[in-house]
Structure 1
Amino acid sequence: MIVNVSILLGISLLLLYVILFYEYYRRKEKVLLYFSLAFLSLSVGCLVNGITHLASLSVFVSFFWIGTIEMLSPGIIAKYSEDLKYLSLVPIVAYLYFSVYSVLVVLVIDAVIMVLSAFLLYMEGGNPKFSPFLILLFSVLTFGLMTYPDLIFKVQVVIAVILGYIITVETLKVTIPAVVKEKISLKPGVLFMKEVPDEILKTALVFSRNPGDENNERWFWITKVQEGSRTIEPTNLVKILNLSVKYLEQGGIVVIDGFEYLVLENGFESILKFLAHLRDYALLYSSSVIVVSDLTNFSERERNLILRVIGEEI
């Protein structure tokens, strides 16, 4: 019995689509919708006769780009995320307008958009770290479609399946529990405390240098030892910010312990930007972020900058 490779790859992409779309339906996270549609569009190129690889690829690139921006939007690109999303229209418009005149132009635009996606993921330092290189390889192979369209498209689909598997595993690995709302009166924004009351820790989303109780689904261990779904590397500020924003959106309280360690691993300027984003989202959702730290550990200049970023009077 001869197995049709295109059908096998198409079914793999459809499976990724179903899983991610179900998670979107359950969790209402737009990033899951965009990535699911990206894999759906690529599967059409494998399964439907008459649909060109170029059309399927261009739609895939469009949804993959907007999914990447949505995933990273709470991070350093937050200020420009809405504008960057408009770039998702470029591959589709390029295909509709240029495909008749110059296939190369369409391929170049698709490749450039994917390279930009790889660059943003690399700069944000997300996990797994080899994902940007897979996307870059996908981009480079795009030019091979001019010479060996069937073969190169299949190789690109294989890479897409690997990326889809990574995205699916990362999605299913970490879920944000529902907020247990208690009447705790706190000022919205970012607050610095030397100690956090137990009544807050019981319901807060906590990022700490201590492992905590492994059964506590609201506790994440900040460590370079990556074991289990509740560990986060100290340099992965994007993931910490994403999880925090989702919890703040529900009206929950976020606690960040080990602030000095984060400064040591990321640098003071990066942490200032991180605090600024946390403050903005906390105010937006009328919730609070508690940073466990004694500001006297910092120089006067650093204290003033921190207070200015979180909106406190100096």
Structure 2
Amino acid sequence: MSLFGFFLLTYVYIKYKRDPALWWGLALLLLFVSLASETINLVDVQVLSRALFGMLVLYGTIGLLEEEKIVLSKHFRILSLVPLIVTGYVELGRVFGYSQDWFVSVGIPYAISGFAIVLSGFFIFSLLREEYNQKARFLGVLLLFYGFHQMLYPFTRVATKLLPFTFVISVFLVALAIYEMGKFTLSREFITRDIPILKVKMKPGLLFISPKKYEELKQLLKDFPVLAFVRYQNFPETWKTFFVTSIHEHESDIIFPTALPLMSARVVQYLKEAEEKGTRGIVIFDCLEYLKMYNGFEAIAKFLSSLRDYALLYNGAVIGVLDENAWEKKELVILQRIASSVEEIQLG
């Protein structure tokens, strides 16, 4: 179960780049190491990995609070080092022969690591309820219970009659905690932290606006992660932009004007990921005349028609900035048949 949780949270980190998922995933990997070491009686590895387990759970939780703009002390993450420091201190004493007592060398590291998990559960339950609702309550409560259970380990471990009972409780709590941690990190609230949850009042599909309307649109969407293919540099910092140019530069944010398949692939990937995150993807082209000059009208019409279909499929919007003076009348008629014009776009 611990390994499954590690792989699941690693996947969440790789796909959505949320650091707390990485720290929690590594914590579950170290929990596995601790449990495996206990079965083969590697005490040093057992207690150190257990201390690191508690440390990383708390470190990831504090990082999550910081990402959610919850005010904490500037150096609050140092608190997560307590389990490792205490365990290292105890282990150092055992190495030099100052204490061979099991309660000191194993019980105290388990207790302090458990306290770090209790603290994590308390933070999640009390400080993230508004942002994550029931998900924070369930995960917080389970971490509280598991942390207290681990703090009691030094006492229950020596009571041999209670071992089967405590083992079942431990497995039950670990399984539920990993399940809730997976639900938490795969929730829309977690994976869309960097995307404002705004209601965009516009029809899905392909839409055209005038250059004047485009300037107003920039203000309306200044906080929204728009994907834009541009010829000009005055756009909001929150936008993900690709500069369309015929100059060959080995930069990831430059696209050659004839690379329509590459643009299409970028748009489809963006729209698909936006839908998965529970928001509407918005793509803007402010370089249609430039693309027409390099590709011809027929190729651009086919290109825009294809993007319209993908926008409808993924409930997104592709917006073309259109200067009517740069197009022939018959071309404008064809474009209007491909898509409907935008009357008004607002953010709710």
TM-score normalised by the chain length of structure 2: 0.46
RMSD: 4.0
**Contact 1:44–1:51 under 8 Å retained in 2:** no
Q: Which residue number in structure 1 is paired with residue 334 of structure 2?
A: none
Which of 73, 81, 90 does residue 89 from structure 1 map onto? 81
The answer as to 2:154 corresponding to 1:146 is yes
**Mapped contact 2:138–2:180 kept (Cα < 8 A):** no
* CA drift at 1:89: 1.6
Distance 1:176 1:140, change over 3 A: closer
Q: Distance in 2 between matches of 1:178 and 1:75?
A: 10
* Residue aligning to 1:120: 123
Q: Which amino acid aligns with 1:163?
A: A
Matched-pair contact (CA < 8 Å) for 1:24–1:30: yes
After superposition, what is the alpha-carbon deviation per residue over 1:121-180, rounded to whole angstroms, capped at 9, x for unaligned? 12211442122221221122123322333654663354233222212123223243998x
Of the three residues 209, 224, 246, the one matched with 1:204 is: 224
Question: Does 1:54 pair with 2:47?
Answer: yes
For 1:143, give the aligned amino acid: M
Q: Does 1:162 align with 2:156?
A: no
Residue segments in structure 1 that go unaligned for 5+ positions in a row? 1-11, 187-195, 206-213, 220-289, 293-314
Contact 1:118 1:132 (8 Å CA) reproduced: yes
**C-alpha distance in 2 between matches for 1:93 and 1:202:** 45
2:192 aligns with one of 157, 171, 176 = 176
Which runs of no fewer than 5 residues in structure 2 stay unpaired?
A: 158-162, 196-210, 226-274, 281-345
Paired residue secondary structure (2:153): helix
- Opposite residue 142 of structure 1, the aligned amino acid is Q
Compared CA separation, residues 143 and 26, structure 1 to 2 (3 A):
closer
- The CA deviation at 1:63 is 0.7
**1:134 & 1:200 partners in 2: Cα distance?**
42
- In the alignment, which of 72, 77, 80 is matched to residue 65 of structure 2? 72
2:56 paired residue number: 63
Instruction: Kindly provide the CA deviation profile for residues 188-245 of structure 1, in whole angstroms up to 9, marking residues without a partner as x.
Output: xxxxxxxx9699469937xxxxxxxx999316xxxxxxxxxxxxxxxxxxxxxxxxxx
Distance in 2 (CA, whole Å) between partners of 1:140 and 1:43 is 19
Aligned to 1:44: 33
CA contact (8 A) 2:61 2:120 kept: yes
Alignment partners' CA distance in 1, 2:126 and 2:67? 14
SS, match of residue 60 in structure 1: helix
Given residue 60 of structure 1, which amino acid in structure 2 is its aligned partner? Answer: F
Over 3 Å counting, the alpha-carbon distance change for 1:72 and 1:109 in structure 2 is same
Of structures 1 and 2, the larger Rg is shown by 2
Which has the larger displacement, 16-25 or 95-104? 95-104
Question: How far apart, in 2, do the equivalents of 1:71 and 1:177 lie?
Answer: 10
Note the C-alpha offset of 1:68.
0.7
Distance 1:153 1:166 in 2: 20
Structural mapping, 1:284-299, within 5 Å: none
Q: Quick check: 153-162 or 166-175, which moved more?
A: 153-162
1:16–1:39 Cα contact (<8 Å) kept: yes
Say if 1:35 and 1:63, in contact at 8 Å, map to a contact too: yes
The number of aligned residues is: 193
Secondary structure of 2:146's counterpart equals helix
